[in-house]
Structures are given as C-alpha cells and as structure tokens.
Amino acid sequence: MQGGRSGMMGDMDGMAGMMGMMQRMHGNMMGDGMMGAMGPMDGGMMQMFDADGNGTVTPEELRAQLQAKLKEFDANGDGTLSIAEFETLHSAMIRNQMVDRFQALDENGDGAITADEMVAPANMMERAQMMRNSQGQMQPGQGPAMNNGAMMDNN
C-alpha cells in the first residue's frame, strides 16, 4: 500500500471495500445486511451514515459519508488513511458501542468498573447454567414448591 497507493485506501471507491472489511472483521456489529441492500438498520454503528435519518442507508449516502470520513480523518491531508489515521476513524466509529458496554458493566453508574462489576456477566452466566442444570435434573414433585407464599422443599 506504499508508493502509488493504488490499494484499498488509494481511491474513493475503495472506501466501500474498507467498510466491507470492517464489517467482516467485526462480525455483525455494524448490523445485518448493511453492505448488501442497505436495508433498515439494526445496529447503531451505521446510523452515522444515514444522512437523511430515515433508517435506511443508500449507496449514495454511504459513499458521501465515507468520503467525508476519509477527509475528516486524513490528518496529514494526503488523500489517504495511514494505519494510525484509520485507527482514529475506527475508534470514533465504535465509541458509542464501547460507552454502552462500559455503562452496562458500571452497575452503580459511578464511572468506574469494579472487580465485582467486571465479573458480573460471568456470575449471571453461572447462575443461569445452574438453573438450567437443576431444572433438567428435577423430577415432578421434587425441588422447591410454593405453599402459602413460602418456599418449601418437597424432599
């Protein structure tokens, strides 16, 4: 990609290829079918490309927004994105998702994720697995039962 820069970043048409590559690298983080028919958006990743805000990204909108992003993040003004410039673009594009994930872990909303908050998803997974396992092993008439609003063991 050095020299004549005729690769993916060397021309404006390559920007659509860049978005396709980003989508493949990040799975469906950017929404289902985004590079195909540009149908209704599932995720927030592509909302920045929906210029008219109608929930659908057209090829024209995508092209115009990608060209604007190239210009915006081309720090040295050479018409291409270096890996460092692309990293800045990429980070900006995923920032909202990162903030959402941070806030989901920061249960008490104090702006810091504690050790307990960090492992909370694993603890929830463990409890769900234990519940599934215990439900699969119980026979009718076994396990906890309700009697007058109190938990009772039928063993």
Q: Which two tokens stand for residue 3?
A: 């020299």
Tell me 123's DSSP state: H
135 vs 127: CA distance, rounded Å: 12
User: What percentage of residues in the chain have a pLDDT greater than 70?
Assistant: 57
Report pLDDT for 30: 42
- Residue 109: the pLDDT is 95
Q: Which two tokens stand for residue 53?
A: 């805000």
pTM for the full model? 0.49
Q: Which of 34-38, 56-60, 86-90 has the highest mean pLDDT?
A: 86-90
CA dist list (Å): 50 to 26, 47, 60, 85, 152: 20, 5, 10, 23, 56
Predicted local distance difference test score (pLDDT) of residue 118: 96
- Any idea what the Cα angle at residue 152 is, between residues 148 and 155, rounded to 5°? 140
Dihedral of alpha carbons 54, 59, 60, 66, sign: positive
Q: What is the DSSP letter of 40?
A: B
